Amino acid sequence: MTSRLVLASSSPFRRQLMENAGLSFVAVAADIDERAIEAPLERKGATPDAVAVVLAAAKAKEVAGRYPGALVIGSDQTMSLGNRVFHKPVDMAQAREHLLALSGRTHRLNSAIALVRDGEILWEHVSHADLTMRRLVPEFIDRHLSRVGDRALKSVGAYQLEGEGIQLFSNVDGDYFTILGLPMLPLLNKLRNLEVIDG
């Protein structure tokens, strides 16, 4: 259990999940252009799962290049509604459009993890959560967005389930960790198998 653990993420939520689990690690933001990686994959018809895995691995590989010998955890999440893949809204008008599209429907969060050491991918995994949004009238969406403000632009679905976004939903099928973008149970199991953490 001598391997140094690095989380390739700037997300405070992912960092908190790792801290809450009692893991000793450092968090380092990956320096990649996510849209430049996603765009050709989407043109080729890559699945939301595949896009999430490629992005998670790209983040882990970039950070691993700066931390020789460390075990680097990369993670990423895509959101899909049927064949449509959503991206973070660029402005409040697009956040409103996202919520209107999701209203009354069930969408899927696809949360991927990649473990990389010295450029080699040791493990990849994807977990899913299916979220059903209650039917929202446009006037409520407008009031909701005015309350949450720019926080709506920080997530792909224009909501934070850990905050006021919970009010938008009628049903959630999936674990909290997957929803926040870091499936902790499979990750912890793999870290034990690799003898990185005490098992």
Q: Which residues are catalytic?
A: 76
Axis-axis angle for helices 48-64, 34-43 (nearest 10): 150
Q: Which two tokens stand for residue 75?
A: 């993670």
Across 40-51, b (16+ Cβ under 10 Å) vs e yields ebeeeebebbbb
Structural Rg of the chain based on CA atoms:
17
- Paired residues of 124 in beta bridges: 114
Q: Are 110 and 80 in contact (CB under 8 A)?
A: yes
Q: Which two tokens stand for residue 81?
A: 């509604």
SS3 (DSSP) at 139 = helix
- Alpha carbons 55 and 53: distance in angstroms, whole number: 5
- Alpha carbons 152 and 8: distance in angstroms, whole number: 23
